[in-house]
Structure 1
Amino acid sequence: MTDDQAWTITGAFDPGAPDWHYLPVEIPEGVREIEVVYRYDRPDVPPGVRGNALDIGVFGPRERFRGWSGGARDRFVVNATEATPGYLPGPIEPGEWQIILAPYTVSPQGMTFEVGVTVRFGPNGLAFQPNPAPGIAPQADRGKSWYRGDGHLHTIYSDGRRELEELVADARAAGLDFIVSTEHNTPSAHLQWGHHATEDLLILNGEEVTTRSGHWPAWNLPAGQWIDWRYRDSRELRRFVDEVHKSGGLVVAAHPFGPCIGCTWEFGYESADLVEIWNGPWTLDDEASVIAWDGLLRAGRWIPAVGNSDSHAHNDRVGLPHNVVLADGLTGSQLMEGFAKGRNWIAESSSVQLEFTATADGTTVGIGETMKTDPGTPIAIEIKASGAPDTHVRILDQHGPQWGGYVPAEGATITWTTQSRYSKWVRVEIRREEPTPTTRDTMVALTNPIFFR
């Protein structure tokens, strides 16, 4: 048997480094495993100046994606039987592999790096057997109903801290019916979920496509499908959006005003099916997202709103917030249809219950639907809220807040009347007069609009 081979690649980036840098590695015949370890310098920088951060991943011959860990770990191993989380198990094909380095931020002093590569020879172990989650969760499927789910979640398969089984347990404890697995830039978790799936929680495959111009969770992908993230231009984005749509999925513009580098949504909303206006505990950037979304609504452009926890650490509460979507059943395609139609509202927890309807001339419509009436016909708006004690309902249309009411511990029913000559649409917020470190109050629930024509 041939001895292991190891070598080291060194280099440097200046502050104007490209987004992606490739280190070609020639892998000979007979290799059963590749191990890569990397490090880079982290010089001190003054307050307000960005230091060094370097992400890493790998492609096999013919640009076949084999894994990505970003900056979450300093090493990875790939072989036929198993791989470091974030990477795809499989035989080590001979030929030119590419280690991809992605300078996230570079200090004024520049950045030096060192990448160690070790290849080990010998026969392959047992072939990896993918075990994706089933496409059903029969104990949670209630037919046409409102389903609760969190569509932005991370585990050890990218930069999260939870094991897969921990995320399942926390999602069930949060009262959710479904989750979407959205690891950064990799589908590696898709192939493992079947080991941890339960009959009362649907697990959908996704990917948080993490570009340098914004992050976009791709929802409802086939198990193992990888979506590329190596671009900044919206014209390139379009090609990958089309891939998601052909697979029956939806594109979510995540945390549009997220304050981290590359997190703010810079692509424009032409390619987005949904916009995540509430991400994790309520903060100022969520308030900014709601204001921007409301501005699009006033200008006649509606992109259905969603909210997700973006949970990474154990103390990031799964389901804060989550979506409550009306679907014909609990399958990926049925949920995507409900989301695409905007039949969705957002809640801080499963305790919050909300019904929002509009009635005129004996016809009642709900969230995401359109009512056609004569301009002077009265339209009765009704909101039933419970599970949100000591909060306030706010009814808004294109002119801003119009009416509201208090929600005590026992819940409340709040009514208001408008006409299509006055309101093009109506939506609802529930807020708690509880300041956060960056906002004067806290969002408890938020709906998509009901439209009037």
Structure 2
Amino acid sequence: MQEKTVLELFIEHDREGTYFTLPFTMPADTETLTLSYQYERYRESESQIGNGSFVSRQEVNIIDLGLIAPDGTQVGTSGSDKNEICLSATSATPGYKPYPLVPGTWLILIGAYKVAPEGVAVTYELSVSKKSIRVFKGDLHVHTIASDGVLTTEELGWHALRHGLDFVAVTDHNQFVSTDALPHIPGITLIPGVEWTHYLGHANFLGLDKPYDPPFATNTPEETFARFDSARSRGALIIINHPFDEGSGFQFDMNALPYDCLEVWNGPMRESNLRSVGLWQSMLSTGKKVPIIGGSDYHRDSLFQILGGPTTCVYALSPSSSDILSALKAGHAYITFAPNGPTLELTAGNAILGDTVVWSQIKVLQMVAGGLLRGDVIRVITGDSSENILEAPSNGYVRAAYTMKKPGFARVEILRSFLPGLPMLPALISNPIYFEE
């Protein structure tokens, strides 16, 4: 949905050669801003010459444009070169930088470089599009040449676009990456992060340039807690990575550390991932609400490692880093084996993945599963049951419902045999919807 605002301004000749501002209010939940302006820049006059006429065109007004955020940041300037600019948290017209469109008072920076003697009327039109929940696909665990990967961050961004992803978290081993150092590639959100890598376990800290003060190395539980506590207090999204991975499993006491999500699916589905899913299921069964994510742990293309394998699909308000991370923290996500893997819409009333409803008021789980292949099995898992509710008779999608018999949680897995004769493995794993008394 778009909202438009028109601002009229008359600039007197005596303001020529000065700068000033025009305030406007940015509404809450704005995703994109388009700002355009019009004025009489050129004036034509006609004169007779011989058997015809000549039209002269003179530049009588030149009005420059810029934009200032509520915190005083100069978001960009374009002189008089552009009569329209577009801006969001992830993209911007050249001359401007992507910037969060926070609600509040913004300022149009006006430069009255040249003003006609009689003054000039300027019309500014602001069009804002509001945020709306939709699915964004991404990979939350990748490496670049800053550690042991083979791609630069820019190469990684373009590679992600080719794979059909919307976002990627850059998580090099014990190497911070600043937001300003990440390239701006249209259509892809690069999220700053770091994989805190220790002999006793790995964790991703996402969303900040510096989630803790170096060095990364710790030798005591107290030092380890200090790194995690710093990341939490500064606002990072903390993910415990591949808890049962051979050689790099998580041996710290998870109950003694603050974290937000659990990476249960790392790279190709295998025994260590199934054990992570089992750990998570036991957490849910004891009443814990722990969101899950997946990540490829991408270093380079190989037979068993591809970018977006698996893909985390998140229901977020926009493709901005902050909205994606907030949605992940809320559990508004599912994991599928690849960008073109099965899809899922799971609701209970107005609730989506990660939300909580009152069981006495809402008992029915509604789902739409797409991208199914013949033989795929849809399974609903609760705290004390696992029920195969449907086997796909052919390729396509299905609508189905499941009634909760008592309070608890319900999550969905889609199982697939990826090659003839191989056992069924998860092709999709969802976060739950919670049903409380």
Q: Following the alignment from structure 1 to structure 2, what is the Cα–Cα distance between the partners of residues 210 and 345?
A: 25
Which AA in structure 2 matches 1:186?
Answer: Q
Residue 387 of structure 1 pairs with residue 371 of structure 2: yes
Instruction: Call closer, same or farther: CA 1:137–1:150 in 2, change over 3 Å.
Output: farther
Does the 8 Å CA contact 2:211/2:234 hold for their aligned counterparts?
no
Q: Following the alignment from structure 1 to structure 2, what is the Cα–Cα distance between the partners of residues 415 and 227?
A: 50
Q: What aligned pairs does 1:1-400 form with structure 2 within 5 A after superposition?
A: 136-137=90-91, 143-187=132-176, 192-194=181-183, 197-222=184-209, 228-260=215-247, 262-269=248-255, 270-315=257-302, 316-351=305-340, 352-358=342-348, 363-374=349-360, 379-390=363-374, 391-400=376-385
What 5-or-longer segments of structure 2 have no aligned partner?
Answer: 1-87, 99-128
* Structure 1 match to 2:403: 417
Aligned-CA RMSD value = 2.7
Q: Following the alignment from structure 2 to structure 1, what is the Cα–Cα distance between the partners of residues 165 and 432?
A: 23
Q: Following the alignment from structure 1 to structure 2, what is the Cα–Cα distance between the partners of residues 265 and 436?
A: 37
Per-residue deviation, residues 60-109 of structure 1 (Å, max 9, x unmatched): xxxxxxxxxxxxxxxxxxxxxxxxxxxxxxxxxxxxxxxxxxxxxxxxxx
Instruction: Call closer, same or farther: CA 1:405–1:154 in 2, change over 3 Å.
Output: same
* Structure 2 match to 1:441: 424
Does the 8 Å CA contact 2:212/2:230 hold for their aligned counterparts?
no
Q: Following the alignment from structure 2 to structure 1, what is the Cα–Cα distance between the partners of residues 289 and 195?
A: 23
By how many angstroms is 1:435 displaced? Answer: 6.6
What 5-or-longer segments of structure 1 have no aligned partner?
Answer: 1-133
* Structure 2 match to 1:6: none
Does the 8 Å CA contact 1:253/1:265 hold for their aligned counterparts?
no
Does the 8 Å CA contact 2:380/2:410 hold for their aligned counterparts?
yes
Which AA in structure 1 matches 2:188?
Answer: L
Q: Following the alignment from structure 1 to structure 2, what is the Cα–Cα distance between the partners of residues 432 and 338?
A: 27
Q: Following the alignment from structure 1 to structure 2, what is the Cα–Cα distance between the partners of residues 198 and 371?
A: 39
By how many angstroms is 1:232 displaced? Answer: 4.6
Instruction: Call closer, same or farther: CA 1:397–1:338 in 2, change over 3 Å.
Output: same
Q: Mean alpha-carbon deviation: is it higher for 225-234 or for 236-245?
A: 225-234
Does the 8 Å CA contact 1:190/1:223 hold for their aligned counterparts?
no
Residue 405 of structure 1 pairs with residue 390 of structure 2: yes
Instruction: Call closer, same or farther: CA 1:318–1:226 in 2, change over 3 Å.
Output: farther
Does the 8 Å CA contact 1:228/1:240 hold for their aligned counterparts?
no
SS at match of 1:365: coil
Q: Following the alignment from structure 2 to structure 1, what is the Cα–Cα distance between the partners of residues 201 and 166?
A: 28
SS at match of 1:411: strand
By how many angstroms is 1:226 displaced? Answer: 6.0
Instruction: Call closer, same or farther: CA 1:212–1:364 in 2, change over 3 Å.
Output: same
Per-residue deviation, residues 275-333 of structure 1 (Å, max 9, x unmatched): 00000111100000000110111111221100011111222211111211122222222
Which AA in structure 1 matches 2:430?
Answer: T
Does the 8 Å CA contact 1:309/1:318 hold for their aligned counterparts?
yes
By how many angstroms is 1:233 displaced? Answer: 3.6
Instruction: Call closer, same or farther: CA 1:224–1:417 in 2, change over 3 Å.
Output: closer
SS at match of 1:413: strand
Instruction: Call closer, same or farther: CA 1:227–1:190 in 2, change over 3 Å.
Output: farther
Does the 8 Å CA contact 2:205/2:211 hold for their aligned counterparts?
no
By how many angstroms is 1:228 displaced? Answer: 3.7
TM-score using structure 2 length: 0.65
Instruction: Call closer, same or farther: CA 1:215–1:398 in 2, change over 3 Å.
Output: same
By how many angstroms is 1:264 displaced? Answer: 3.1
TM-score using structure 1 length: 0.63
* Structure 2 match to 1:107: none
Per-residue deviation, residues 385-413 of structure 1 (Å, max 9, x unmatched): 11131311110100130342123312112
Does the 8 Å CA contact 1:191/1:224 hold for their aligned counterparts?
no
Higher Rg of the two aligned structures: 2
Instruction: Call closer, same or farther: CA 1:323–1:137 in 2, change over 3 Å.
Output: farther
* Structure 2 match to 1:126: none
Does the 8 Å CA contact 1:325/1:344 hold for their aligned counterparts?
yes
Instruction: Call closer, same or farther: CA 1:138–1:451 in 2, change over 3 Å.
Output: farther
Q: Following the alignment from structure 1 to structure 2, what is the Cα–Cα distance between the partners of residues 440 and 298?
A: 26
Instruction: Call closer, same or farther: CA 1:406–1:350 in 2, change over 3 Å.
Output: same
SS at match of 1:330: coil
Instruction: Call closer, same or farther: CA 1:272–1:265 in 2, change over 3 Å.
Output: farther
Q: Following the alignment from structure 2 to structure 1, what is the Cα–Cα distance between the partners of residues 408 and 147?
A: 43
Count of residues paired in the alignment: 308
Q: Following the alignment from structure 1 to structure 2, what is the Cα–Cα distance between the partners of residues 313 and 302?
A: 34
Which AA in structure 1 matches 2:368?
Answer: K
Which AA in structure 1 matches 2:402?
Answer: W
Q: Mean alpha-carbon deviation: is it higher for 276-285 or for 240-249?
A: 240-249
